[in-house]
Chains A and B, each alone.
Chain A
């Protein structure tokens, strides 16, 4: 395995704001890394440093063993052989689709045209060569932008929130297409997004950034299953935390005992991560089950989420397949199934919600829509 990209000790300041703080990571050749974090966490800055539009104050960046930013070397963007798809696609409005795609190519006109038509086939828009960018829909513009980026065979492709201007259905469809194309061509890619679902779906690896600081990087599902910080746990997927006590070779919680984890932090305020899929509920008592009360429920038909109140009054969520089963206020039995519990000390930041304090997904919605400021504003008010 060779590293297609290596970033070491990258730091960047804008005025007094530490946009990126001592970040180091590598991407293996042919892998897709999803760089996620809330808005303003520094992910776009990091991407722009790799492209060469920003210069870090400290650290170095290597692409395929070529040092593009070192203490005594700086490779201009046009010489990096890095491709980038911008959030607004940034197609050249004065050129048609073919000329847009062949813009970065060298050689004879015929070769260029041939390569352009190859790529048009790849993105499944074979007859679009003569159209102009303003005649294309958002999804088509996006695919042309990808083709333009891929045309000169870049060493590395950067995708900056590439799906954020598309509506939900199209976004889902394009994600699958884009991943398929990138995998087919075996191109090393970094995807920047604030959408954790997108990150999990596209990324082989995921890196979570938080206020300029790299919280965790690893294979996507490892990061999901073994988050190293509460922030990562909350950012990737839905997370609740239950206080645990340590006694007699086991962990005790409101909802029953849990096996011992591999690593157990030392501390006074231990909490275990509870994902909705870890919590099974039933109308009948089960083995090891604990009675709880249903606070709210919602269902998309395909999945249902019940918010439950534990005996000590904590709120946790349980997800199950199929339409919702238990009305609000009813008594049900809950059982924790956590094979490898993840335990944290120091729950520094409690998620806070504008509309209903128990409701986690609503927080995530706020984070996604960039309304995080409203949240902190309300927090200050209270």
Chain B
């Protein structure tokens, strides 16, 4: 009996040892983590298999001039949005962190808020306002008799909308890098004979480079995977083309397009890694932080205020004002909020479930990679990051094919939709949970083990309670993302299952703007609520 047990254990242990995983995690960690990693790989594997089945046909299809144009369009939009986000965010971050700009707090909160606007909602609100015969044209016509504005459909509109929604990603990372930066570095540069402007370009900007790049990467990924805004604004990118293929022609060709999109995304990730270089840019010292010195703007504070005001007006105030106006219009033409409660409930329950399942999937992976690090755990953890590289529409398509061919019963069922959400948003959850687990001192856990608790009891009674705010933050983030998610919900949602997001989409595709306003407002409010929750968790965290 004993010999058997030893034999059994040594089989698994030798397998894991073979993988040079010296830290063997308990089975309740590695088993679920392994399953999750395999599950996450499924869409990617399936897309690849499907494309290769097509063989030459796929290649013939992909090099058609229309698809080359799509590739060019996607690349153009992605890079210009990323670049424009950097151009907006770096001065904003610098102004709100390092200068005596009046109302700094106010600006730093307001410039983050565009994050709560889903792209398709922002797109239709912008069409209403900036369109050829939109509100702005009406207004200008009254003043200067402007007959029509340049069209917002196509590249211009997509660029404007996506830049204004994704610059907060760059802003977030640059702001925190500026806070973390040792003020002594800039002071050294000044004492070595450099004027403030020269110091900024010789020292500050190069040090901010990794933060700018990772922010720009997030903006680029957001743009590349965006489906709502580009489709609504009729700009022909990958996501637009994939959706079109899926609805009309060969679904396998859609798979081929999705795979190219995934490769494009992976290419972006690699570019960022390469550009980041080999430098470690963290603070070397351990001494108490001196707060960064404040730069006096003097007369420059007026243009600075104008700059901040302009960004906030365009990215936040105009969309919200238009939204409020059209909600009222909707109510006046007899739309009632009544019918939206069901949609809201669908959105909230789907997001809640997805958040719960994603957290459960992320926990074993975070535990393995933090507490039992080895190359295997690193591999598993990195596998979960595939979700970053997989646009929602690609995951949705892969799962549709998979379900139709191999798992018919779950086709168009809730579990499949939740599974798609998990694949898409697992990296967010793993990241947040990892960070909070890293802050739990391992000797606290060891003390619990020493007092006779098993590893499972220790995690349940010690680690999880200590990680509570991190887990809640992760859940809130996933909740927020699922609420706004459009393409996977559209494609995978069970028949007749409508959420706020899909109904907004249905209405705006038919140009029923008044009807779309109320669900949009609810969606924005729910997103804002989870963002506020997130921010309060964060402050509690730092105390």
Using a CB–CB cutoff of 8 Å, the interface residues on chain A facing chain B are 51-53, 76-80, 82-84, 86-94, 103-104, 106, 132-134, 141, 148-149, 152, 154, 161, 164-165
Contacts and interface: CB of A to CB of B under 8 A. Distances in A.
Interface of B: 182, 184-185, 187-195, 202-203, 206-207, 209, 278-287, 293
Contacts, number: 94
Contact of B209 (A94, A141, A148, A165): A94
A103 B192 contact: yes
B187 A53 contact: yes
Given A53-B293, A78-B194, A103-B192, A90 B185 contact: yes
B285 A89 contact: yes
Contacts of B182: 86, 88, 90
Given A78-B193, A78-B194, A164-B287, A90 B188 contact: yes
A78 B195 contact: yes
B296 to A, nearest CB: 11
Contact of A84 (B191, B209, B287): B191
A164 to B, nearest CB: 7
Contacts of B188: 84, 86, 90, 92, 148
A134 B280 contact: yes
Contacts of B280: 93, 132, 134
B contacts with A: majority SS: loop
14 contacts: A51-B187, A78-B191, A82-B191, A86-B182, A87-B287, A88-B285, A90-B187, A92-B185, A93-B279, A94-B209, A94-B281, A104-B193, A134-B279, A165-B287
- Most chain B beta carbons < 10 A, residue from A84, A88, A161, A165: A88
A33 B256 CA distance: 73
B284 A141 contact: yes
A56 B34 CA distance: 63
Contact of A132 (B184, B191, B207, B279): B279
A contacts with B: majority SS: loop
A64 to B, nearest CB: 16
Contacts of A84: 187-188, 191
A372 to B, nearest CB: 15
Ranked 3 nearest A-B pairs via Cβ? A88-B285, A104-B192, A90-B184
Nearest to A161: B287
Contacts of B279: 93-94, 132, 134
Contact of A88 (B190, B191, B287): B287
A161 B283 CA distance: 17
A51 B191 contact: yes
B192 A88 contact: no
A290 B195 CA distance: 67
Nearest to B277: A94
A165 B188 CA distance: 18
Contacts of B206: 92, 94
B191 A80 contact: yes
A147 B35 CA distance: 55
A56 to B, nearest CB: 16
Contacts of B185: 90-93
A156 to B, nearest CB: 10
A164 B285 CA distance: 10
Nearest to A141: B284
B99 to A, nearest CB: 16
